[in-house]
Structure 1
Amino acid sequence: MANPPSDHGDGMRLFLDYLVGARAAAWNPSAQWLSRHSGIPKTTVESLIHGTRKRLPSWSEQVERLLEAYRKKVTEDKRGDPDAVLGDMAAWKQAYDDAQNGRPPACPLPTAAFPTPPPAAAEPGRPIGQFRPLDLEVHPAIRVDTAGRELEELPAYVPRAHDEALAQMVRQVQTGASRLVVLVGDSSTGKTRTLWEAVRTLPEPWRLWHPIEPSRPAAVLTELRSIGPHTVVWLNETQHYLLTADPAVGERIAGGLRELLRARERGPVLVLGTLWPAYWKTLTAVPHTGQPDPYAQARELIKSASIRLPESFADADLDAAGRQAANTGDLRLAEALRRAPEGRLTQYLAGGPALLELYDNAEPGARAVLDAAIDARRFGHGPALPRLLLVEAAPGYLSDEQWHLLDDDWLERAFAYLTDHRPCRGARPPLALIKPRPGTGHAPAAHSGGEPAYRLADYLEQHGSRTRRFLCPPATFWNAATRHAASVSDHRAFARAARDRGRHRHAFALYRAVADAGDTTALRELTRIREQAGDHEGAERLARAAADAGDTIALRDLARTWEEAGDQEGAERLARALNDAGRTSALYSLTEMRKQTGDHEGAERLARAAADTGDVLTLYNLARTRDQAGDLERAERLYQAAADAGFTSALIDAFYMRELAGDHESAERLARAAADAGHTTALRHLAELRQQAGDHEGAERVAQMAANAGHPLSLRYLTRLRELAGDYGGAEHLARTAADAGDTDALLVLAHLRRQAGDYGGAERLYQAAADADDTSRLHEQAWMRERAGDHKGAERMFQAAADTGDNLALRELARLRELAGDHEGAERLARAGDTTALPILARMRQQAGDHEGAERAARMAADAGARDAAALLQNLAEMRQQAGDHEGAERLARAAADAGLTAALQHLAVMWEQAGDHEGAERMFQAAADTGQIDALYGLARIREKAGDHEGAERFTWAAADAGLTAALHALARMRHEAGDHEGAERMYQAAADTGDTASMSALAELRQQAGDHEGAERLARAAADAGHTFPLQELVRRRYRAGDHEGAERLARAAADAGDTTAMRNLVQMREQAGDHEGAERLARTAADAGGTTALYDLAKRRVQEGKGGRWADLVRFGLEADGSAARPW
């Protein structure tokens, strides 16, 4: 469904662009400054200065006030006459009126308004006019018979919806903003051409930087810091910059780009990139809790910066293309319109059909070479594919008959066929020979030894990645990959692919190549593979090699594996080997495992071994475990061992344990030991425990010991004990001693006790003593005591004494007392003199007393004074007025809260009125909230209109919310209609939401289609959701189809989910087949899933077969994996 037109069309967009330009002309004041000086809420200011508004703002309430703030900024910064810098207000008002009436407004800004200093000579890049589109990797187009006519370098361009979104970003950078845009789409969908069309007419001083040499990442890291204003950073095929072999490199680049975009002094800049959807998904995926996050910087950089390109032209776009072809006479575009299937014009123009024709019609030898190239790229090899890799891999792709029928020169013929660009009509051939430029000093890795390297055509790479997903390469491929992969990262990628597909023997050889290059992480994988094969000796040898190289993870994991398998002796031997090298984590892990199995002696032995080399926490944790289990003797022995090893705080746990068990003598002994070790708090805690148990004499004795040990807080505790025992003189003496030691709280404790006993004179004397000890906060205690006794004048006198020392809290209390005394004017005066917390308290007191007018006045004063919670207070008062039925007062207060910065107050009140059935009032408040920039309020308006039956109005407001970024509003309206039984209206809105990429709507739409019996439509929608990364609808359809008996359809859909990178549906289908008794079907699907990179189902099946007594090949499969042809591997 196409978006409805905005309220004022192009005129409105032009005016908003001019308003964005005004900020640049005023030298980019911050949103916070503008909000403060214009009186407009910050969120509204942000929508105006970034050009994100989708409706014309109010002139008097927003535009005029914003322009006045700009003029004030120009005047304050002495940038010149505001009229000369920004244009006069009459011109702005005329432009606003034109936009409001649908006319294109003239720009009110003077032509020299923008500060555009020329770039420094040393800045990277060149003027945009010096570039040809092919220099920037725009695909060359097909060639046609022109009958002697000369055509432009590229076909005529047909703008589409995504071009306008990109153009808006370009307009914003021209007015001073810095922006990043990444176009996401499949190969040959027109991404790079779209970028070129957007920037090719940028005027000087704009320049373009295309970092590619000596390599793309190296070029960025070398020169990024030199990028200055008015630069287009051209990152075509952005995966080469962010999805690097070493993720740390890509993260450095992403971090640098983020810094560039937010550095105002380096802007404006425009960063442009392109990505395939699969790369986008990888870079933006959020890892599960506890998993590594290798692309955190990249995700933050691009997650909100994408524009999706469709795979094909919509009907309206095809009509526009037809008109463009007729008007320009472009024969290439005309041919694409005639021959491109399903509106895929850009793919046809880029040579896609010719490539597929070459692929489909290739002779067996050439097809084998091409399939080997496709597999190499889909398994992660870099773009430069070594010739030897392809040559040695290709024979395995041929049948015996095809192999024997080959001519002797088949390889030469194959490469000649695949590298011939002539059949591709100007596009890149299936394999393009990479030719290093002379004098650059840089060549692809495959060229470093003089070996030719080839690049696979993008379109074939993506096509082959889909069509070959469920095919695993032959053994010749893996062998060639082991010998001829161009780099360590390529070997690693191949090794991972082999491991994911259960080809352990080949994975082992590839990981061995990585390890031989010095990567110890590969030794971990080698260890796991040999251990899985039952080669414990080989696994240990590899794990020890890794440990010798400084990587102890393999040895630690192997120890855990052996422990779980019951080989405690072997596990302990490995853990002790690590322990001897100073790595105690393995001993800790084994200790925990022994604890869980009840082997306490073994756990203690290991914990002591860990402690001997400095890991005392292992011993301590074991002690706590025995303590919790009630094994006090063993626990104390372990606590003592931990203390002897230096972890003396273990003695505190020990004394607690003994005290709670009633062994007071041992507890005291251990507490003394802890105190002797420096933990004097142990004695104080013991005193408290004795007191709680009713042993007052014992408590006092221990507290005195703590005090003697130098713990001042114990004096306070002892003071309390003496007071409770009736020794008032002794208690006061101890309290004063504690105060002399810096603990005036002892005096306070004693004062509280005296007050509770009714000795107010003694209490006040002690409070005064605390104040005399420079703790003026104790005057508050005296004042409160006077107040509770009814002596308000005395309380006020004490608070005044505290206030005279500069205590703002005392002023707040004085204000409270004045308010209680009825002196409202005096209360307000004192509240304003103190900190900003006093006025909100005053407002709440008045509200509780029923003085609504006074409460509102105090709350407004709090807001004017900048009190932190003033806006929330105003909102609370609004709610109370609403509940009391005072709608007018509620609205007035909600608007005041919004003016104080809490614009959500308007929306909150609107929701309350909506729930109360006052839809007219709710709509008015939602509109007010929307005017402040509350996007959610737009959907509130839509909801009100929908309930009133105004479906057209509801859709208009929903679209406004979606245009402002709240695309969830489309889904929400669809759900309302669905629940109301309007399935047609629901489906239309679900479709609109799905068109924005909302996968939940795709799922709901698929469900609607399924319920309506449109299985084909449901499947199409579920596939679209899967392409967007949401495979749940496909999984649900798999279950439905299988239960309905359509096993073939279920399998097809499960494969589609696997195509989207999720083999869960296939694994579930394997289980369903197995449970239904279709063991042969289950095995076939499990092997298919394994070939696609998901071995879980196959291994689960194999283990089940072994448990059923069907060992043999199944047992071999569990241990040794699969051969390249998919059969169970024999021991190797």
Structure 2
Amino acid sequence: MNKNEHHGLQQERRIWAVGGEISGDPEAALEELRNRLRTSMAERRLQQKDLMARTGLSRTTISQALSPEAPAPTRSTVIRLAQAVKITGREMEVLLDLLNMARDEAPASPKRHRYRNTHAAPIVECDPYDKRVHPAVDSSDPLIPRGRAAPLTSYVLRAHDAALAEVVREARAGASRLMVLVGSSSTGKTRACWEAIQPLVEEGWMLWDPFALEGADEVINQLGHVGPRTVVWLDEAQNYMGTAETGERVAAALHVALTDSRRAPVLVLGTLWEEDAGTYLLPRMPAQRDARRRVRQLLEGRTVTVPPTFSAKEVKAAEDTGDKRMQEAVTRTANGRASSLDGLPIVQFLAGAPGLVRRYLQASAPVRSVLEVAMDAFRLAREPVSYFDPPAREVPLKLLGAGACDYFLDHEFNQLPEAWIGRALADAGRPVHGDLAPLSRVKPRPGRSMWLHDESPIYRLADYLEQRTITDRARVCPPESFWQAAYDHLPPAQLAGLGEAAYFRHRLRWADRLWQKAATDGSTHILIRLAHLRVMVEDFRGAESLLEQAANAGDLEACGLLMSVQVPEPSYMQADLRFLENFDYRYDSDEGPAFGFWSQFGLDEAVLSRWEPSYRAEVENGDPRELVRLATLRELLGDQCGAEEVARQAADAGYSIAIRELEWMRTPGGHLALGAGGEVKRLWRYGLDADGTPSAPW
């Protein structure tokens, strides 16, 4: 035993010896508790005003907790003070036992052996940063350490906290409950969950976090062992919902945990991005398979939205906390929005978002190009509909290097040094405020990264840049080097989704190449999509051959589609209307679409009209892909002028496929004003190249 270990052992013996000496004497226990807190304050040169900033407690509460004349403080007050002065682990347990002695109560240190799940830990032992609470921006206060070591900022209660508190109260009363907070990146979702469970600390609750578990099977298996008085921590719950099939299995396991009275109370808290929550809660369309029924039913009535901005009342409360970091954020914002960066909320400022955005906007050409490759890879992989695998969030080095070439201007590319990629990655990896970097190298867990094709290092964008890129670059189509690098360096599982993104932008040559490579994994759905491309260029023999391959592999949909390619004008719709693929939905008269056919599915003009607001809302929220569906919908409603106008908007946003959609729907017996006599079909039959010019036959 070395000197340090001996000193630690002696200190631990002294701690427990004191507890034995004062057993049965509440006044002595309370005095010892306060002495320990004062000693830790002195060692760290902290005063009561510093504790106010670190704990969010009032001056009166802190004074009474340390005063020999006042009654014993509450358990939550002791825990907050102990965390502020860096008392953790065994010493924290001693403080809580001293408090129980002072109240003449039995010690309530957590007993791990009472819980079957070995991945759960007492909440009191958990570090909020390990639970993905974002570190706040640096403070000028020299007493407050920087980065992950810094204590949490003072907490300001907001509207969603009331709903969380009610769920926690019901769990404390013995009922199992679930609540999911929905909001955009860095709005305070995870921090709100962390604050909500603090009252459970004094009751010895455990926290079960599946973050380190590998794959859905292990998560589902371990959920079966979660015991009573346990918080199930589903931060970024979309990571556990995965594909529709995986999400249904996880939802079923959560349902069992919540309804098993022998395991009650169990409290499930989760967070979701708005886009993912919208996908999971989207109502099933008529005649459409309900792929996320369990997930939707689990979440219905159990989500609360976290707004991106503070209200005026909340801003005032933040100013009154006495926390210098909160005050700094307030002085740089107005009504919850930053004065220097438009639309930036306080919480995102605290999490380092200002530095991330500024780093990107002011980046050198090499850094900007690398970041934009990563941004495009992320946003394009997120776009496809749910029957593709969910996107990975990591990007391999080879894609960043090879894909960046066409992001440079000519003079920028000619001036690049030989080792430019290494320097660019080092610069992009430098942290900004909040200990976050625009692009960080990550160490993948085995089997966790779908982007990982070989031993190439992988990188990940900061959360806030991921969020911004969905809207900021929504109208940008990646250049040729991006598609080529993706084809060369990404595994087939990811090429399927990128092929769909290329298709939506009418980059048909790249959609074909990417799907050809993706089909090597044996996906019959990709074979059907390839057949669709063959139909578009009137290669019916090629389409029939691809459909035969899919049918021979057991795909029933392909069997039905084999009949449709035999007619001169094959019927085919977009992914959101795929259930109509074997029927003719074109005009049957001069009066407009055949609503008599649609009525077979319970769809009439009134029903179709109700879809339009949701499409328009998605467009306004930054998803121009919905313009394609909106143009199709306007056409089905008989509004040809409106359909053409929306199709133009979609084309301007990079989704040129909208124009082809209308032409297919109007053939025969119609023409587009913007392409009379089949001009669009003649010029764009083979799609567009990456630069927007018509492609040659491929």
1:120 to 114, 119, 142: 114
| 2:689 corresponding residue in structure 1 | 1123
Do 1:180 and 1:305's aligned partners in 2 also have CA atoms closer than 8 Å? yes
Per-residue deviation, 1:410: 2.5
| 2:367 corresponding residue in structure 1 | 366
Per-residue deviation, 1:400: 2.7
Per-residue deviation, 1:1031: 6.9
Superposed counterparts of 1:1088-1099, under 5 Å: 1088-1091=652-655, 1099=663
Cα distance between partner residues in 2 of 1:554 and 1:213: 40
More helix per residue:
1
Cα distance between partner residues in 2 of 1:342 and 1:363: 33
In structure 2, the CA distance between the partners of 1:471 and 1:532, relative to structure 1 (3 Å rule), is same
| 1:307 corresponding residue in structure 2 | 304
AA aligned opposite 2:173: T
- 1:520 lines up with 2:521 in the alignment: no
In structure 2, the CA distance between the partners of 1:487 and 1:1120, relative to structure 1 (3 Å rule), is closer
Do 2:628 and 2:657's aligned partners in 1 also have CA atoms closer than 8 Å? no
Cα distance between partner residues in 2 of 1:554 and 1:222: 36
Cα distance between partner residues in 2 of 1:283 and 1:1092: 28
Size of the alignment, in residue pairs?
A: 532
Do 1:187 and 1:458's aligned partners in 2 also have CA atoms closer than 8 Å? yes
2:181 to 166, 177, 183: 183
Per-residue deviation, 1:545: 2.1
Do 2:137 and 2:350's aligned partners in 1 also have CA atoms closer than 8 Å? yes
In structure 2, the CA distance between the partners of 1:475 and 1:448, relative to structure 1 (3 Å rule), is closer
- 1:506 lines up with 2:510 in the alignment: yes
Do 2:550 and 2:558's aligned partners in 1 also have CA atoms closer than 8 Å? yes
- 1:262 lines up with 2:255 in the alignment: no
In structure 2, the CA distance between the partners of 1:1069 and 1:368, relative to structure 1 (3 Å rule), is farther
In structure 2, the CA distance between the partners of 1:377 and 1:271, relative to structure 1 (3 Å rule), is same
| 1:1067 corresponding residue in structure 2 | 631
Cα distance between partner residues in 2 of 1:332 and 1:485: 42
RMSD of aligned Cα (Å) = 3.6
In structure 2, the CA distance between the partners of 1:260 and 1:1082, relative to structure 1 (3 Å rule), is closer
Q: Deviations over 1:901-931 (max 9, x none)?
A: xxxxxxxxxxxxxxxxxxxxxxxxxxxxxxx
Bigger radius of gyration, 1 or 2?
Answer: 1
| 1:332 corresponding residue in structure 2 | 325
Superposed counterparts of 1:76-225, under 5 Å: 120-123=114-117, 124-150=119-145, 152-202=150-200, 203-215=202-214, 217-225=216-224
AA aligned opposite 2:563: A
Cα distance between partner residues in 1 of 2:687 and 2:526: 18
Do 1:142 and 1:350's aligned partners in 2 also have CA atoms closer than 8 Å? yes
Per-residue deviation, 1:271: 0.4
Per-residue deviation, 1:1092: 8.4
Larger deviation, residues 401-410 vs 181-190: 401-410
Q: Deviations over 1:66-110 (max 9, x none)?
A: xxxxxxxxxxxxxxxxxxxxxxxxxxxxxxxxxxxxxxxxxxxxx
Superposed counterparts of 1:849-998, under 5 Å: none
| 2:395 corresponding residue in structure 1 | 385
Per-residue deviation, 1:175: 0.6
| 2:549 corresponding residue in structure 1 | 545
AA aligned opposite 1:376: A
- 1:236 lines up with 2:235 in the alignment: yes
In structure 2, the CA distance between the partners of 1:223 and 1:433, relative to structure 1 (3 Å rule), is same
| 1:85 corresponding residue in structure 2 | none
Cα distance between partner residues in 1 of 2:677 and 2:165: 65
In structure 2, the CA distance between the partners of 1:183 and 1:1109, relative to structure 1 (3 Å rule), is closer
Q: Deviations over 1:218-238 (max 9, x none)?
A: 441221111111110000001
| 1:430 corresponding residue in structure 2 | 438
Per-residue deviation, 1:1063: 1.8
In structure 2, the CA distance between the partners of 1:1108 and 1:125, relative to structure 1 (3 Å rule), is closer
In structure 2, the CA distance between the partners of 1:1090 and 1:406, relative to structure 1 (3 Å rule), is same
Per-residue deviation, 1:1106: 9.7
| 1:19 corresponding residue in structure 2 | none
Do 1:260 and 1:266's aligned partners in 2 also have CA atoms closer than 8 Å? yes
2:404 to 390, 394, 411: 394
- 1:409 lines up with 2:399 in the alignment: no
| 2:354 corresponding residue in structure 1 | 353
Superposed counterparts of 1:722-801, under 5 Å: none
| 1:1032 corresponding residue in structure 2 | 613
Cα distance between partner residues in 1 of 2:226 and 2:642: 65
Q: Deviations over 1:583-604 (max 9, x none)?
A: xxxxxx99x99xxx9xxxxxxx
Q: Deviations over 1:334-361 (max 9, x none)?
A: 2111113541110000011101001111
What SS is found at the alignment partner of 2:487?
Answer: helix
2:475 to 456, 465, 470: 470
Cα distance between partner residues in 1 of 2:228 and 2:490: 42
Cα distance between partner residues in 1 of 2:184 and 2:570: 51
What SS is found at the alignment partner of 1:133?
Answer: coil
Per-residue deviation, 1:485: 2.5
Cα distance between partner residues in 2 of 1:566 and 1:1068: 17
| 1:1056 corresponding residue in structure 2 | 620
AA aligned opposite 2:433: R
Cα distance between partner residues in 1 of 2:359 and 2:129: 24
- 1:321 lines up with 2:318 in the alignment: yes
Per-residue deviation, 1:131: 0.9
Per-residue deviation, 1:264: 1.1
- 1:290 lines up with 2:287 in the alignment: yes
Cα distance between partner residues in 1 of 2:534 and 2:526: 13
AA aligned opposite 2:320: R
| 2:5 corresponding residue in structure 1 | none
Per-residue deviation, 1:1064: 6.6
| 1:449 corresponding residue in structure 2 | 454
Superposed counterparts of 1:613-624, under 5 Å: none
In structure 2, the CA distance between the partners of 1:1108 and 1:479, relative to structure 1 (3 Å rule), is closer
In structure 2, the CA distance between the partners of 1:1076 and 1:1091, relative to structure 1 (3 Å rule), is closer
What SS is found at the alignment partner of 2:271?
Answer: strand
Per-residue deviation, 1:1076: 7.8
AA aligned opposite 1:288: M
Cα distance between partner residues in 2 of 1:267 and 1:214: 23
| 2:8 corresponding residue in structure 1 | none
Per-residue deviation, 1:259: 1.6
In structure 2, the CA distance between the partners of 1:551 and 1:1097, relative to structure 1 (3 Å rule), is closer
Q: Deviations over 1:210-262 (max 9, x none)?
A: 002343634412211111111100000011111x1x32111100111112111
AA aligned opposite 1:368: S
Cα distance between partner residues in 2 of 1:274 and 1:552: 37
Cα distance between partner residues in 2 of 1:276 and 1:266: 29
| 1:683 corresponding residue in structure 2 | none
1:1087 to 639, 643, 651: 651
Share of identical aligned residues, percent? 34
Question: What TM-score does the superposition give when structure 2 sets the normalisation length?
Answer: 0.69
AA aligned opposite 2:405: P
Cα distance between partner residues in 1 of 2:299 and 2:642: 48
Cα distance between partner residues in 1 of 2:232 and 2:156: 24
Do 2:531 and 2:543's aligned partners in 1 also have CA atoms closer than 8 Å? yes
Per-residue deviation, 1:183: 0.4
Q: Greater relative contact order: 1 or 2 (C-alpha under 8 angstroms, separation 6 or more)?
A: 2
Cα distance between partner residues in 2 of 1:172 and 1:1107: 61
AA aligned opposite 1:120: R
Do 1:1066 and 1:1085's aligned partners in 2 also have CA atoms closer than 8 Å? no
Unaligned runs of 5+ in 1: 1-110, 568-588, 598-1028, 1036-1052
AA aligned opposite 2:210: P
| 1:1046 corresponding residue in structure 2 | none
| 2:72 corresponding residue in structure 1 | none
